[in-house]
Structure 1
Amino acid sequence: MENLPEDVKQRALKFMSEKGLSQAEFARRAGLSRSTLNQWLKGRSRIRSTNLHKVVKLLEPEKAKEEPLFTPLDKIIDHLSRAKEELKSAQGEIENLESYLVTKIGEVVSFKHYPKETDQVS
């Protein structure tokens, strides 16, 4: 198949029509969000290989077991996407920690240079 996602999209539309399923029900059965399915079916977004595999499993459970849809590149891209999100989150946490430490260091420096009058020895 030259364009697997497009072929699967057409089969999914046919399946929903034949079974009388709404997009919401099809998405639920496939394990997708309704929004993800809707965006893909309308051509507004590309489907990730993991989600494509879920759709194929619903359409043809036996064939999905025989024909892996994942290439090593798909797995690498998915892993890198998750890692990128984790790094963004970690960067935010580091920035918060840095800000906290700068504030605390400033308080320590201020205390050492400008002790309270009650702290001075007479």
Structure 2
Amino acid sequence: MNRPVPHDDRAVEVARRLCRVLAATHRLRSDVHGGYGLALVAVQSGLLVWCNGEWFWWRVGWDERRRYPMHTYCRADDLRQTAYRVAFLCARLREGQSRREQTAGDAS
């Protein structure tokens, strides 16, 4: 008899799949934390990917006018596209961090 997967378990299961795709295709390490019907994928400092088993979403910026975070979404069944978009954002974040470190070095 097939039992439906509880929502908590599905979110964690899907998030773990994303971790495997991130590792295999983009060499990114990540951790999964689950609870309350959601899973969090900790990819790097400053980047958490949320999952409810159906969707992934993560913060991509800040709307200064509305003073509100901006998020982007991907369907949980499109792991390759999600992994690509997360890896692209990781590269952007690392590039920004590198630029900030260079600027701080120039100031001293």
TM-score by length of 2: 0.31
Pick 1 or 2: higher relative contact order, CA cutoff 8 A, min separation 6: 2
TM-score by length of 1: 0.29
Specify which structure has the higher proportion of strand.
Answer: 2
